[in-house]
Structure 1
Amino acid sequence: MPLKIVEISEKGVDIDEIEQLLFGGAKVAVSSKLKDKVTKSFHFLQEFSVDKVIYGVNTGFGPMAQYHIKDEEINQLQYNIIRSHSVGAGPPIEPVYVKSAMIDRLCTFAQGYSGIHPALIQTLIDFINFDINPYVPSHGSVGASGDLVQLAHIALVLIGEGEVFYNGKLHPTADVMKQTGIEPFKLHIREGLALTNGTSMMTGVGLVNLILARKLLHHALVASAMMNEIAQSYDDFLAPELNGVKRHNGQVETAAFMREWLKDSELLRNRKKELYNGTKASHFKQKVQPYYSLRCVPQVLGPVWDTVKIAQQVIIDELNSVSDNPIVDCSSGNIYHGGNFHGDYISFEMDKLKIAVTKMIMLMERQLNYLMHDKVNEILPPFVNLGTLGLNYGMQAMQFTATSTTAENQTLSYPMYLHSIPNNNDNQDIVSMGTNSALLAKTVIENGFQVMAIHYMAIVQAIDCLQAAEKLSPKSQEIYHEIRSFFPTFVDDKPRYKDINRIVEYLKTKSIVS
Structure 2
Amino acid sequence: MAPAVLIDDTSAISQQSTIPSRFLSDDHFPPTPASVPDSPRQKAANGRTASKTFGEHLAWVIEHNHVLQRCIDAKAETAMNEDVIVLSGEHLTLAELVAVAWYNVPVTVSSDSRVRNRVNTGIEFLQQHLEAGNVVYGINTGYGGSADTRSNDFANMQRALIQHQESGVLLPSDLGRFDNVSSANLQSLKPHNLPRCVVRGSMVARVNSLLRGHSAVRLEIVEAITTLLNHDFIPVIPLRGSISASGDLSPLSYIAGALEGNSDIHLDCAIDGGRRQIMSADNALRMAGLQPTIMRPKEGLGLMNGTGVSCAAGTMALHETQYLALASQVLTAMSTEAMRGSADNYHPFISDVRPHPGQREVAENIFRQLRKSRLVVGKDAHTAGLYQDRYALRTAPQWLGPQLEDLSLAASQVAIELNSTTDNPLVDAENGYVHHGGNFQAASITSAMEKARLSLQMMGKLMFAQNTELINTTLNGILTPNLAFDDPGLSYTFKGIDINMAAYQSELAYLANPVSSHVQSAEMHNQAINSLALISSRYTMDAVELVSLMTATHLYTVCQALDLHVLNLEYMELIEQEAEALFLEKFSDLASTWPEVLVAIKAGLLSAKSKDTASRAAAAAEATLIPITLALPRNGSMPLSTLDSWTSDLTAVITSAIRQTRIRFASPEGPPTLQYLGYGSAIMYSYIRHDLGVPLHKGLVEHPTYPSSEREGVQVQGEKVTIGTRIGRIYEALRSGGMRGVLIKSLS
TM-score interval, smaller chain: over 0.9
Q: Are 2:183 and 1:75 aligned?
A: no
| 1:469 Cα offset (Å) | 3.0
Residue by residue, what CA displacement relative to the aligned partner does 1:461-502 show, whole Å, maximum 9, x if unpaired? 112222333211232122112112332222323533343332
Q: Map 1:364-513; keep pairs closer than 5 Å.
A: 364-467=463-566, 468-484=673-689, 485-491=692-698, 492-493=702-703, 494-508=721-735, 509=737, 510-512=739-741, 513=744
Q: Deviations along 1:54-79, whole A, 9 cap, x unmatched?
A: 00111111122111113xx2101212
Q: Is the 8 A contact 1:35 1:110 kept in 2?
A: yes
Q: Are 1:202 and 1:435, in contact at CA under 8 Å, matched by a contact in 2?
A: yes
Corresponding letter in the other structure for 2:478: I
Distance 2:246 2:205 in 1: 16
Task: Write the deviation string for residues 245-271 of structure 1: whole angstroms up to 9, x where unpaired.
Answer: 112111011111112222222222233
Counterpart of 1:340, as a letter, is N
Shift of 1:320: 0.8
CA distance 1:36–1:486, change in 2 (3 Å): farther
Q: Which residue of 1 aligns with 2:639?
A: none
- Tell me the distance in 1 between the aligned counterparts of 2:485 and 2:283: 55
Q: Deviations over 1:321-346 (max 9, x none)?
A: 11100001111111000111111111
1:5 equivalent to 2:210? Answer no
Contact 1:221 1:254 in 2 (8 A): yes
Moved more, 310-319 or 120-129: 120-129
Instruction: Say whether residues 1:214 and 2:322 are aligned partners.
Output: yes
Alpha-carbon spacing, 1:173–1:490, altered in 2? closer, same or farther (3 Å): farther
Encode CA deviations 1:123-146: one digit per residue, 9 max, x unaligned.
Answer: 121122223222111211112111
Corresponding position: 1:134 with 2:235: yes
Report the secondary structure of 1:377's partner residue: coil
The equivalent position to 1:191 in structure 2, one of 299, 306, 321, is 299
Q: How far apart, CA to CA, are the structure 2 residues paired with 1:97 and 1:199?
A: 13
2:121 aligned with 1:40: yes
Q: Which residue, 290, 298, 304 being the options, matches 2:403?
A: 304
Q: Distance in 2 between matches of 1:320 and 1:464?
A: 48
1:84 to 145, 164, 167: 164
Q: Please tell me whether the aligned partners of residues 245 and 531 of structure 2 are also in contact (alpha carbons under 8 angstroms).
A: yes
Query: Helix, strand or coil: the match of 1:207?
Result: helix
| Unmatched tracts of structure 2, length 5 or more | 1-73, 171-191, 271-275, 567-672, 704-720
Q: Deviations over 1:11-67 (max 9, x none)?
A: 422223223333455322232231221121112111211211100111111122111
Deviation, 1:428, is 0.8
CA contact (8 A) 1:119 1:185 kept: no
1:280 is matched with which residue? none
Looking at structure 1, the residues matched to 675 and 294 of structure 2 have their Cα atoms a distance apart, in angstroms, of 64
Q: Tell me the alpha carbon deviations over residues 263-308 of structure 1, each in whole angstroms, 9 at most, x when there is no partner.
A: 222222233xx46xxxxxxx76622111111111100110111111
Matched, 1:259 2:376: no
2:180 — aligned with what? none
Cα distance in 2, alignment partners of residues 398 and 179 from structure 1 = 50
Alpha-carbon distance between aligned partners in 2 of 1:230 and 1:169, rounded to the nearest angstrom: 50
Superposition deviation, residue 447 in structure 1: 1.0
In structure 2, C-alpha distance between the alignment counterparts of 1:39 and 1:361, rounded to whole Å: 49
What is aligned with 2:54?
none
Aligned to 2:6: none
Q: Which amino acid aligns with 1:380?
A: L
Pairing partner for 2:347 from 214, 219, 239:
239
| Alignment pair present for 1:349 and 2:442 | no
Match of 1:102 among 203, 208, 218: 203
CA contact (8 A) 1:148 1:197 kept: yes
- Hey, what's the Cα distance between the residues in 1 that align with 2:298 and 2:314? 27
The 1:425/1:501 distance shift into structure 2, 3 A limit, reads same
One-letter amino acid matched to 1:155: A
Is 1:361 aligned with 2:460?
yes
Asked whether the 8 Å contact 1:123–1:185 carries over to 2, the reply is no
Change (3 A) 1:392 1:132: farther
> Is the contact made by 2:233 and 2:268 (CA closer than 8 Å) also made in structure 1?
yes
* Counterparts in 2 of 1:264 and 1:151: CA distance versus 1, 3 Å: same
TM-fit CA distance, 1:160:
2.4
* 8 Å contact kept, 2:521–2:528: yes
- Higher alpha-carbon Rg: 2
Partner Cα separation in structure 2 for residue 465 and residue 303 of structure 1: 33
CA distance in structure 1 between the partners assigned to 2:293 and 2:371 by the alignment: 57
The alignment partner of 2:268 has SS state of strand
Answer whether contact 1:219 1:507 (CA < 8 A) is retained.
no
Partner of 2:221: 120
In 1, distance between residues paired with 2:485 and 2:269?
A: 45
Give the superposition deviation at 1:10.
5.7
Cα distance in structure 1, aligned partners of 2:233 and 2:495: 43
Q: Matched residues in 2 for 1:242 and 1:250: separation? A: 13
The more displaced of 487-496 and 92-101 is: 487-496
* Structure 2 counterpart SS, 1:166: strand
The answer (yes or no) to whether the contact 2:426–2:436 under 8 Å persists in 1 is yes
1:196 positional shift: 1.4
**C-alpha separation between the residues in 1 aligned to 2:232 and 2:484?**
45
CA distance in structure 2 between the aligned counterparts of 1:171 and 1:368, rounded to whole angstroms: 47
Answer yes or no: is the 8 Å Cα contact 1:463–1:469 preserved in 2. no
Tell me if the contact between 2:168 and 2:241 (Cα under 8 Å) persists in the aligned partners.
yes
Question: Which runs of 5 or more structure 1 residues have no equivalent in the other structure?
Answer: 276-282
Q: Secondary structure at the match of 2:434?
A: strand
Partner amino acid, structure 1, of 2:147: A
The partner residue of 2:425 within 326, 337, 350 is 326
Answer whether contact 1:387 1:394 (CA < 8 A) is retained: no
Q: Aligned partners of 2:292, 2:246: CA distance in 1, in Å?
A: 25
Contact preservation (8 Å) 1:86, 1:149: yes
| C-alpha separation in 1, matches of 2:450 and 2:440 | 19
Runs of 4 or more off by more than 4 Å in structure 1? Answer: none
Residues in 1 aligned to 2:157 and 2:320: alpha-carbon distance in whole angstroms = 39
Secondary structure class of the residue paired with 2:558: helix
In the alignment, the residues of structure 1 paired with residue 336 and residue 123 of structure 2 have an alpha-carbon distance, to the nearest angstrom, of: 60
**2:273 is equivalent to residue 164 of structure 1:** no
| Whole-angstrom CA distance in 2 between matches of 1:172 and 1:388 | 61
Map of 2:32 onto structure 1 = none
Structure 2 equivalent of residue 60 of structure 1: 142
C-alpha contact 1:142 1:435 (8 A) present in aligned 2: yes
Using the TM superposition, give the Cα deviation of residue 379 of structure 1 relative to its aligned residue in structure 2, in angstroms.
Answer: 2.1
User: Contact 2:89–2:420 (CA<8 Å) still a contact in 1?
Assistant: no
2:175 maps to what in 1?
Answer: none
Following TM superposition, by how much is the alpha carbon of 1:415 offset from its aligned partner in structure 2, in angstroms? 0.8
* Equivalent-residue separation in structure 1 for 2:243 and 2:504 (angstroms): 27
Question: Over aligned residue pairs, what C-alpha RMSD do you find?
Answer: 1.9
Q: Higher mean Cα deviation, 488-497 or 425-434?
A: 488-497
Amino acid at match of 2:205: D
